[in-house]
Chains A and B, each alone.
Chain A
Amino acid sequence: MKAFIALVAREVRLAWTGGGLWLPVVFYLAVATLFPFVTGPDKALLARTGGGILWVAALLATLLPIERLILPDRQSGVLDQLALRGWSDELVATAKIAGQIVAFALPLLLATIFGSALIGLPEAQLGTLLLGLALALPALSGLSVMIAALTAGLSGASALGGLLLVPITIPLLIFGAGTLAEDPGNAMQLLAATSLAITALSPFAAGAALRAGRT
């Protein structure tokens, strides 16, 4: 357990020093800043569409850290050293996902408070948006590690990552946007269920990809 925490702490430190922490947050807030320029100062329209735009921005921000998640560790031999010490690839993937939840999901949740202010979301919606994103972000963290493991070392990894991300995140986006409607109850439950399934499966998918990529 101590070793697991050490590995998660290393992930957070790498995100902090390697730009993986700020890049998604800056991207996310940039979308929130730019969107009102597109729609104009129509408060009702912004209130209706702003939450959805933040959802799309959060989903796309998932792609930003993928290039530094797996490939550097494979090239520097860190993954080999962990495997040599008897770490299963699934456990390594789980540690990386936990690191992403701390270094990617939490900052993005904090940024949502600023983002919703920039867009001018009604205060009543902010709570729902935060809860929905809090439910979905572990799944997005899992997906970013999984996609990073699948595309590590391939040319055009980012573009391929986008292709992989879109179909898997569509259910999250549908239910996530659904929570912004009048009665978020059912959509919130479906969102939680979808997110749980993706979060639970991602360490196994990422672990298998890590194993397949070992040469």
Chain B
Amino acid sequence: MSSRQASLPSLSLDNVAVMRGNRILLRGLSVAARAGDVIWIRGANGCGKSSLLRLVAGLLTVMSGTIHSEGRMALADENMALDANVTVEAALRFWADLDGASADARHAALTDMDLQNLVHIPVRFLSTGQRKRASIARVLASNADIWLMDEPYNGLDSASCARLDQAIIARVASGGIVLVAAHQPPSINVAHSLILDSQGVAI
């Protein structure tokens, strides 16, 4: 583990194909990302953006090709993964403790996502945008090297979008990798823009 953390994070997909149901999604996909890269994944609905992120996260198995990654990952997808009946702070602390994140990192993540006033509110009372911000704060607090974000801008107001952009910029500036699957372009410099067509082929 220590040797992995010492080396710079990297991510490479080589000629990857994945099967979903009876359909082949993502065929012959190759991606390489180095520390400091932001990769914007875009494409039509159902082209395999979310599947690509789940594949990188190791939650789906590849049908062919290889995936190699260095560094800890954090995923923010449509599922918030925060317990509904506890406060925002307690729900985030559960994951932060599993990740070995410090209290400072947790508070910084709450501040970055402007959640300080909501920490004592149970997660089930959060609005859509607040839920999204809480799940992004979970990623921020994890201090992971590689962030996988599925439609992170959905439901966020413009101020929160700017906050997210700031967080992404800060993460890549300190040597992380961020994969963003989104329809609208992030208002930050992206290293690669990976466009998937309806067959899940990169164009």
Q: Which residues of A contact B (CB under 8 A)?
A: 2-3, 6-7, 10, 13-14, 17-18, 75-78, 80-81, 83-85, 214
Tell me, in angstroms, the Cα distance from A18 to B86 when the chains sit together. 12
Q: Are A81 and B58 in contact (CB under 8 A)?
A: no
> Of A10, A18, A76, A83, which contacts B94 at CB under 8 A?
A10
- Give Cα A125 to B39, complex, Å: 68
Residues of chain A within 8 A (CB-CB) of B86 are: 13
Complex Cα gap A10–B86 (Å): 11
Q: Is the CB of A84 within 8 A of B94?
A: no
Can you show 28 pairs from A to B with CB atoms below 8 A apart? A3-B97, A3-B98, A6-B94, A6-B97, A7-B98, A10-B83, A10-B94, A13-B86, A14-B83, A76-B79, A76-B81, A76-B84, A78-B81, A78-B83, A80-B54, A80-B75, A80-B77, A80-B79, A80-B81, A81-B81, A81-B95, A83-B58, A84-B58, A84-B59, A84-B73, A84-B74, A84-B75, A214-B59
Complex Cα distance, B84 from A83, in Å, reads 20
Interface string of B35-69 (1 = CB under 8 A from A): 00000000000000000001001111000000000
- Chain A residues within an 8 Å CB radius of B98: 3, 6-7, 85
CB-based contact B79/A77 at 8 Å: yes
A77–B98 CA distance with the chains assembled, in angstroms: 15
Inter-chain CA distance A214–B81, complex, in Å, is: 15
Residue in A6, A77, A214 whose Cβ sees the most chain B Cβ within 10 Å: A77
Measuring CB to CB, which residues of chain B are less than 8 angstroms from any residue of chain A?
Answer: 54, 57-60, 73-75, 77-86, 94-95, 97-99
> For B58, what are the chain A residues with a Cβ–Cβ distance below 8 Å?
83-84
Complex interface: chain B residues within 8 A of A13 (CB): 86
On whether the beta carbons of A75 and B75 are closer than 8 Å, the reply is: no
Which residues from chain B contact A77 at a C-beta distance below 8 Å? 77-81
Measured CA separation A81–B72 after assembly (Å): 12
| A13 CA to B85 CA, complexed, in Å | 10
> Please, which residue of chain B has its CB at the minimum distance from the CB of A211?
B61
Instruction: Name B54's closest neighbour in chain A (CB-CB).
Output: A80
Bound complex: CA of A75 vs CA of B80, how far in Å? 9
Residues of A within 8 A of B82 (CB): 76
| Nearest CB of chain A from residue B83's CB, rounded to whole Å | 7
Bound complex: CA A13 to CA B75 (Å): 25
| Inter-chain contact B75/A76, CB cutoff 8 Å | no
